[in-house]
Every structure is written in C-alpha cells, then in structure tokens.
Structure 1
Amino acid sequence: MRTQVAIIGAGPAGMFLAHLLRREGIDAMVLERRDRAYVEGRVRAGVLEQVTVDLMHRLRLAGRLQREGLVHGGTNLSLDGRSFRIDMAALTGGSTVTVYGQQEVMRDLFDAAEADDLPIVWNAEDVALAGIDGERPTVSWRADGVDHQVACDYIVGCDGYHGISRAAIPPEVLTTFERVYPFGWLGILADVPPADHELIYANHERGFALASMRSTTRSRYYIQCGLGEDIADWSDDRFWDELCLRLGPDTAAKVTRGPSFEKAIAPLRSFVSEPMRWGRLFLAGDAAHIVPPTGAKGMNLAVSDVTMLGEAFALHYKHGSDAGLDGYSARALARVWKAERFSWWFTSVTHRFPTMDGFDRRIQMAELDYIRGSEAAQRTLAENYVGLPLTGGISSEAV
C-alpha cells in the first residue's frame, strides 16, 4: 500500500488537509483511532475566523454554513455588569466571525469525504511511525485484527495533544513551552435562545463568564471555576444563578433558563512545541499547540496550519520546490505565537487569578476601561479576534 501523504488524525486539521490535497491532485489517506460518530460528536469550538470560512468556501463545503452559520460583526465586553461593544467589522474593513459549531464543520468534512471517496481508516489501533528521519517513511496500524502498513513520502501528525506524532520526534530536537492556568471553564449547552445575538465576555469580581450560542435556539454558556470543582456540585439552578450574577442585571434579564443537556469542566492551557517539522514528519493543529479557549483560536489555528501545509505540498509536487515545506515550521509558528499572545492576553484581562491582589484588579479594570474608550485598542482587539491574515507565503522566485 502506498500514498503520497499519510495523515494521522481525522479531526479538523487532518480532514481539512485531506480535502486540500485532494483538490490539488495529491494522494493522501487519513488514519483515525476512533470512529466517525466519536470524532463528529466531540463538543468543541464554535467561532470560525474569516480564514476558516474562506477555506470552506474554496473547498465547496460552505452550503450549510451559509444557511445555518451566524455571522457576527461585533462582540461585547462586560466589566462588573457594564457592557460595551467592539464593532469588529467596522474596525477591520469588513471582517467578521461566524458561529458554527465544530461538530457541524466535521459533519461537512466527513460528508464531502464520503462523496469524494477520500480514504479514511477508522478505528486504527497501534498506529506507529517509522523512517521519518529518512526518505521512505511508513505508517503501520492494526484494524479488525489485521496488521497494515502504508509507505508514503510524508507524514502529517494531526492527532492532537495526546497523539503519537509529536512523541515520535526525538526529545533532544523538540522544545516545548507551556502555561497552565489555575482555573477551568464550567460550560453547559441548553436548548434555549441566547441572551444576545453576539457573544458577551464578562469580567466580574467573582470571575469570568461567557454568553455564547450554537444557533438561534441553542445556547452555550461558561463560567470560570476552580480546577478542583466537582461537576456534581453544580446543579442547573446553581449554574444559572452564578452566570446571571456575573453577566450583570441587564444581560441577566435576557437569559432564558432551561435544562442543560451537556455540562463539563475544561482546564485552560497554553502550549507550543517547536519545531513543527522533523524529517518527513510535520505537525499541525493541537499536536503542535494548544490555546485557552478565550480567543476562539484552537480550530482556526489548525486550519491556518494546514492551509500553509497544503500550499507547501502543492509547490513540492507540482513545481518540484521544497521552499514551502522547508519554511513551513517557521511560517506556521509565527502565526501560532501571535494567536498564543492574544489568547493569553484576553484571558489575563477577563479572568480572576487566585494570586490577584487589589493592585492587579485595578490594573485589569483600567485595561478594560482603556479598551472601552480607545478606538486604537479596539482595533487591535478586533484584528486579532477575527483572525490575522496568512502571511509569509512562498514568493514566485521559489517556484
């Protein structure tokens, strides 16, 4: 068995890359250790940057997105119940974000893969990489009790933070950077209309809260909580009470309460590994970096990674140039670190940290007040929130 590019992981990074390569006529196959229902059912991000929306249009995957996605031209910040709006579209020349859940994105990717006969191996067990430091890498796995192996030109690890791909890079080659936050997000999904037509990020003396949505009839709400909290201690009534307190009376009056059908606590982490290439192995998405969800960058960063990688593979196979592949890690990391910076900053100004004293709190309040009154500060926030453009492309001289 042989293919040009073997992709480990059928999450957003892996599937977007598979479609990009198919569009360029490059053979690729995807190996996934779970089944489709599991991957598609994972509750994840719901805010798409312009780069992600544009890619879905390019790949002709945007039919449902156009019908069901909620386009947001702004977002709202709240300090102790007093809200103000950031007009992202006006500040960025028309750029917006679109609320469309990752589950829906995955459904679109998988439906199109089936229609295009794009090869995906589900329930691949004991996946192992070999020869990535040479010219003939292979991927082996076990499925239905039978051992398999595929030879390939390159391997792309899109298998997440806990996957095998990053672990295949020698530790003396890899440098990792990490910031673990001393709190988590307690989130719920409920089939109730959202409190507002745009997101509200709230900084309250009791902690952070976020009013979000998945549709006009399904709401996604979060509150900051301790990492040691027991989900069993959070009844729906307790959650709604705390959420409304943090959002403030004006927004609380618009909150529709109802039974939650999903409730979980997620830790927050910033993580980057460098480089994102070693030998014939490339990393993309959560295999290489994690961001706290405050800036809604996780899936969008994965998309920008594989967009760059797709361009690099097209340059290699169509024009015989390795400039894109050789420059991929540096180019991707330049954007990754900007997104890490924004996500860290946005988290720092909207959350209560256990070590904060009165001075820290006043600085935080001053920061938000400055944003409220400064168009320049709002423009910086808006530019980062809607997504920085993909830069550093391959020049014509490299072809």
Structure 2
Amino acid sequence: MNIATHPFDALMEITARPPTVFVRGEGSYLWDDSGKRYLDFIQGWAVNCLGHSPPEVAEALAAQAKLLLTPSPAFYNGPSLRLAKALTEHSCFDQVFFANSGAEANEGAIKLARKYGALHRGGAYEIITFEGGFHGRTLATMSASGKKAFEPLFEPKVPGFPKAKLNDLGSVQRLISDKTVGVMLEPIQGEAGVWPATDQFLRELRALTREHGLLLISDEIQTGMGRTGKLFHYEHAGITPDIMTLGKGIGGGVPLAALLATDEASCFEHGDQGGTFNGNPLMCAAGLAVLAEVSKPDFLKSAADAGLFLESELQRISARHGLGEVRGRGLLLALDLKHPIGASIVAEALADGVLLNSPQPDALRFMPALNVTREEIALMIDCLDSILTRMGAARRVA
C-alpha cells in the first residue's frame, strides 16, 4: 500500500507521527512499506528487549495460540502460574498480579497501597511521588506523575500524591504525615530525560520508609527486565522494595505487565482487583520466553557490557561536539544536548534511517534492544556524529 493511500485520518490524532508506516522488524532493524531500513534505538520505548520479532517470542506465541488463548481470569492457566513462580524466584517478591500495561500495573500498585493503608495504617492513603516522575496515563497514574504537562489536564485529579524531589531525602521526610502510606518512584526517571536516583538515595529512602512503616514502591516499568544490566534495578542498590511494577520489556513486544508484592504488602481481597485479559496464557507464554532469555547470566553481562560501550561512545561524541553529560545506566541512557535541538536531531536521524528519541528538547534518550551489537551501536554513533557535525557547521555559517 502506498503511503498516500494510508487512511491516517481514521486514527485519533494523539501525537505527531511522521508519515512512515512500518511493516516488518527483525532484531535492531525496522522496514517501512517502501522497503527502507531503519536502525532502531527506541525499540518501542524500551519494550522490545530482545529486538523486533525475536524468534523465542514468536515461537512461544504460535505454540500457545494453538493451545489456549484465554480461559477467563476466573480460572487458573499454566503459563500465568509458571511465569508468576519464575518472577518470584528471580526477585524478592512473593506474589504477582498480571496486567496488560505498565499504567495498569501502577494503578494496581496504588490500589494495593491504599488497601494496605486502610487495613494497617488507619486509613492512610497518600503516596509520596516525585517531581519529574512518570507512572502512566490513567487518571490516577497521571495524578501520581510529576510531569508538568499533565498538571492542567483532566481536572480534578485524583488526590493523594504529594511530590518530593528526586535524590533529596529531606523533601520526602517533610511530606510524611499520618496520611502517608508509601513512597513510589522510578529508579531512573525516563520521560523526564533519564534522571537516575542514586544508589545511596535509594538505600536511605528504604531506611526512611522502614522507620515510618511505609511501603516502598519501585516502578520498574522501564528499568526492569535487564534494562540497566541487572534483572531488576533495585538490585544495584541492594534494597528490597515492598511492591514493584514491571511492563514494557517483560513482554518483549506484546502487552504484558506485572504487579509484584511481598506477602506482607499483598492484601487484596476477592473483588478488589481484576481484569478481563489479565494473566492470559498467550501473553504469559511470551513473558516466559523473555524471562528465560533475559535472566541468563551471560545475557545480562552482555547487556551491561553493551551499555558501557554505548556510554563511552556517547561521552566521546559529547566531548567532540561540546555537549553535556551522559546520564543513566546500562542500556537506558541520555545525552545532554545543552540546547533544544533534540527534535531536529530526531528528524534528521529518521531521514538517515536511524530512530532516536528526544524525551525533552535538550536531551536524547537511547533504549536499544538488550542484545544490540557493538557494530549497531557504532552505526548509530556515526549517524549522530554526522548530524551534529552538520548542525555545528550550519550554526557557524548562521
């Protein structure tokens, strides 16, 4: 189908999209309907942890589709039981609730914390979150987010989410009251421009929440499933949260998410939580295939090594072009551009056959497949270097 004949107007206009229609993907590459190939360093916003259409996921889906799609969440099914057990064995958590998206998992975490507050903390319901944080696009998760663009939207917001400053323990302490039930944060704030919580801050935050009997909720929608070089980011700080959410990478490209909690924090009663497609065997089969690959020690080491190589190459590019710091961890990194040129770089890269992301006007975010090769990183770096060189020349002429 020619681009001119695509019925673009049938889709709601919720974001600016280029007139590119992708039809096929493999590994780190996508192809559009004209046959042009693109090197993808977005990967569905850190979704395709094994790259596009990985054989392991495709085969798991095909095999499960022939057996059972969904029996209803009112019944057990094998893949959901096996995936839940595998996740608890690989983490510090005891129980799992499956969902379809990260926002839905975070919504579940908020509900679970409020239920805990109702049962154990005299009706406490406030969850301290952070400026710059992003937890999803449901009404409650937008309210929990600290994204400035969300502030005027869809009022009135859901109350109960006072905002602290990342890496500022005092700002958290000042917000704690008898209404507080927990603290919720992303270990690395992705949408804000890849701003990490320090390991020391995470350890101090865990100590503070324990001191006050509060739940610590780790939103690992973007950082989980090997993205930062360990299976889960909380492992870097050596802490154990009470609740964790997973999404994006857990499905390797299909809609799957999870809410994990310790036995102590797991207090839902029958009827409190549910969802028609939650924990369906088709998606859980994909999750099992992803977890089997990502949890391999050699895989995680390779992903961590790729992250170090990407980081060093971005630092080299930054020094060459007089740009700012490289932030993040593993294969979730950002380059500070110092100037609001992110959108221009993204557009030029698209024309050159490379997909990049600019979450903020002055930053680029890099979220390649966890099995990205050094050669693919080098190709992206060469493209970025050329674009920055052209931009620099244009600025000098101007």
TM-score (norm 1): 0.24
If the length of structure 2 is used for normalisation, what is the TM-score?
A: 0.24
